[in-house]
Amino acid sequence: MAEVSVNRAWRLRRRPVGAVVPGDLELVSESAAPLRDGQALVRTLVLSVEAASRIWMGHQRAFMPPVGLGEVMRGVGVGEVVESRREDMKVGDIVAGFVGWQEFCCADDQRLEAPLSVLPSPLPAPVSAFVGILGHTAITAYLGVDLLQPRPGQTVVVSAAAGGVGSIAGQLAKLRGARVVGIAGGPAKCRHVVDDLGFDACVDRKDPAWPARLDAALPDGVDLDFENAGGPILDHLLMRLNLNATILLCGEVTQYNDTGERTAWHGLVNIDQIHMQRATMRGIIVTDHLDRWPEALGALGQLWASGQLTYDETVVPGLDQAPTALTSLLAGHTTGKLIITVAEPTTIPGHPLTTG
Ligand SMILES: NC(=O)c1ccc[n+]([C@@H]2O[C@H](COP(=O)([O-])OP(=O)(O)OC[C@H]3O[C@@H](n4cnc5c(N)ncnc54)[C@H](OP(=O)(O)O)[C@@H]3O)[C@@H](O)[C@H]2O)c1
């Protein structure tokens, strides 16, 4: 192995109860194992911090198994290959996928369940774009909106509207001609959603009068709901559904700071409205649709390049900040896609790390 002998990695020490606190994860420095045939060493450049990171720390029944205690925290990112004993990866390749919350990962060609994919060369956009507007975040929005099929005359609601997924979902629904109402936390975020992202309206979920304000923003009811939050807001929206409405469950961020018990909130009281309004509620997981990623990336790239999509990032420097960045995301303190910068690329020196 070349010069890399030490890796720094966040390992899960205990399952958080509620918000992540110091001690739930530990940043450890450990020796990096020498590469074997079929392996490549990848230096992490940027990490995506996302709501699902909190799910993976808990014991919820979810779309992927929880991270085991003692394991390196699961995380998506972009890295550069700095050493290789793999036929299909060469030094200097830029790769994306599950690199983990660590400085270096080993890309093993036997790890078939979540292989890292090699990005085009030369890299056509800043590194961070490949977990954001040109990565799984925006692809989730694209596929979700495509499933909802909004059209002129319909009203679409998007929760967590200023966040990574929601900001793109709302803009895509707007591009299809629908009226789009966002829900976000705080007046500044709501202004951003309307003024910068072009939504028709945005309701502040932190305003105690949010139920009445949401009703006022939905004079024609709800045809389509791109649901990122779940919880009481979704329950309220159920009472505003139009006949044959569709709810796309993309996420339920209200429930991710798992306390181990479901005591704080008792579920969807208005679930009968799915029946009464002959509505459809369905879930989506972006990695179930890998076959459609090239199409999604083509469309998103074109819309972004032509200025029809606005894409924002909140950038936090340093691997050390990963747990606090996640807490900040779940508390609603970030806007757009949350990125952690870990290292400057050495194999493509000077290439921008982030889009800002
Ligand atoms: N299905 C998939 O394949 C897939 C893939 C990626 C992401 N997702 C989902 O997409 C959603 C957004 O994820 P992201 O990573 O892009 O995060 P994000 O939207 O950038 O950040 C999460 C946002 O959730 C909102 N929030 C936090 N607590 C809330 C509460 N109690 N009630 C309502 N809103 C609350 C906050 O926004 P405000 O304070 O502005 O409300 C916060 O900014 C999540 O539900 C995530 O699980 C799904």
Report residue 270 CA to chain centroid gap. Answer: 28
| pLDDT category of residue 258 using cuts at 50, 70 and 90 | low
Q: Considering only CA atoms, which residue is closest to atom 34 of ligand 1?
A: 229
Out of 253, 288, 311, 313, give the residue to mutate to test ligand 1, the one with the largest number of ligand atoms within 8 Å of its CB.
253
- What pLDDT does residue 164 have? 98
How many angstroms does the Cα of residue 186 sit away from the middle of ligand 1? 15
Residue pointed to by tokens 């029946």: 275
**Within 10 A of 7 (CB to CB), how many other CB atoms are there?**
21
Q: Considering only CA atoms, which residue is closest to atom 29 of ligand 1?
A: 254
How, if at all, do strands 117-118 and 155-159 pair? unpaired
Q: Considering only CA atoms, which residue is closest to atom 2 of ligand 1?
A: 285
Q: Considering only CA atoms, which residue is closest to atom 16 of ligand 1?
A: 164
- What pLDDT does residue 264 have? 56
% pLDDT > 70, the chain:
96
- What pLDDT does residue 113 have? 67
How many angstroms does the Cα of residue 251 sit away from the middle of ligand 1? 7
- What pLDDT does residue 59 have? 82
% pLDDT > 90, the chain:
88
Kindly give the number of the ligand 1 atom that is closest to the alpha carbon of 137: 6
Out of 145, 228, 335, give the residue to mutate to test ligand 1, the one with the largest number of ligand atoms within 8 Å of its CB.
228
Instruction: Report DSSP letters for 112-151, one per residue.
Output: -SS--EEPPSS-SS-GGGGGTTTSHHHHHHHHHHHHH---
30's tokens = 């450990």
For residue 318, pLDDT beyond 70: yes
| pLDDT category of residue 260 using cuts at 50, 70 and 90 | low
What is the pLDDT averaged over residues 138-154? 98
- What pLDDT does residue 191 have? 98
How many angstroms does the Cα of residue 117 sit away from the middle of ligand 1? 25
What is the pLDDT averaged over residues 57-85? 94
- What pLDDT does residue 112 have? 66
For residue 242, pLDDT beyond 90: yes
Asked if 296 and 172 touch (Cβ cutoff 8 Å), the reply is no
249's tokens = 């469950």
What is the pLDDT averaged over residues 128-154? 98
For residue 3, pLDDT beyond 70: no
| pLDDT category of residue 261 using cuts at 50, 70 and 90 | low
- The chain-wide mean pLDDT, for the chain, equals 94
| pLDDT category of residue 266 using cuts at 50, 70 and 90 | low
| pLDDT category of residue 212 using cuts at 50, 70 and 90 | very high
- What pLDDT does residue 152 have? 98
| pLDDT category of residue 1 using cuts at 50, 70 and 90 | very low
- What pLDDT does residue 37 have? 95
Q: Considering only CA atoms, which residue is closest to atom 36 of ligand 1?
A: 332
Ligand 1 environment, Cβ below 6 A: 50-52, 137, 140, 159-160, 162-166, 184-185, 189, 205, 228-229, 231, 233, 250-251, 253-254, 284-286, 329-330, 332, 334, 338
pTM score of the predicted model = 0.96
b/e code 29-58 from CB counts within 10 Å (16+ = b):
eeebeebeeebbbbbbbbbbbbbbbbbbbb
For residue 5, pLDDT beyond 90: no
What is the pLDDT averaged over residues 314-322? 98
For residue 259, pLDDT beyond 70: no
Q: Which of 75-79, 113-117, 165-169, 313-317 has the lowest mean pLDDT?
A: 113-117
Q: Considering only CA atoms, which residue is closest to atom 13 of ligand 1?
A: 51
Kindly give the number of the ligand 1 atom that is closest to the alpha carbon of 337: 20
d(CA 205, CA 198): 19
